[in-house]
Amino acid sequence: MDHIIEVMFSENEIIKRISALGKSISKYYNQSDNNIILIGLLRGSFVFIADLCRNISIPHEVDFMTVSSYENNVHSNGKLRIIKDIHEDIKGKDVLIIEDIIDSGNTLNKVLKFLSLKGPKSLSICVLLNKLDHRKININTEWIGFTISNEFVVGYGIDYAQKYRYLPYIGKLIYKY
Ligand code: IMP
Ligand code: MG
């Protein structure tokens, strides 16, 4: 089966939006005592966090965790598996979780609960894409790149069955039978 990929957000649109997000995040945490840490959820956020951290003008650390909440390729289920925990101690730090997409909210809800047990000073979320149609859990996402409807997207770090992460733009995946 082939896929057709239609550009949804170009490289240019993405970088403009990330520049604005970076400015807003820098301004917000400006008063903080410099204990800011970005935690990227692997693997989908790796391109996003690489661009975002270079648009945040205040000192911060970067760490990663890997979780799995998918029972198959396209739907997330309720369970969360921690495949790789963060490396740094986040106690007393301002933590900003960086995620590619929020859909049902299951993944971020579980990650929030897991990280809050580690005693951060604050815990906020920055997502690149906000899918509203299937939200099951109401979650505060302080920073959002783009809000989209229920379409399957790939590229800019985001995969379908481990494919397409390398695309420099965000594309809509169209199935061709
Ligand atoms: P949630 O747990 O239902 O909020 O789903 C969020 C997770 O599902 C994210 O970590 C994404 O990796 C993944 N996801 C949701 N929509 C898409 C998509 O359109 N393409 C690729 N991954 C997606
Ligand atoms: Mg994911």
pLDDT, tens only, 125-169? 999 999 999 999 999 999 999 999 999 999 999 999 999 999 999
Q: What is the pLDDT of residues 37-52, one digit of tens each?
A: 999 999 999 999 999 9
Q: What is the pLDDT of residue 4?
A: 87
103 is catalytic: yes
Model pTM greater than 0.85? yes
Sign of the torsion formed by the C-alpha atoms of 109, 107, 19 and 30 = positive
> Is the distance from the beta carbon of residue 104 to the nearest atom of ligand 1 less than 6 Å?
yes
Separation CA 115–CA 121 (nearest Å)? 11
Residue 145, CB-side half-sphere exposure with 13 Å CA sphere:
28
Using the predicted structure, report yes or no on whether residue 29 has a pLDDT greater than 90. yes
The residue from 33, 94, 103, 133 that is catalytic is 103
DSSP 73: S
Using the predicted structure, report yes or no on whether residue 73 has a pLDDT greater than 90. no
Using the predicted structure, report yes or no on whether residue 17 has a pLDDT greater than 80. yes
Using the predicted structure, report yes or no on whether residue 74 has a pLDDT greater than 70. no
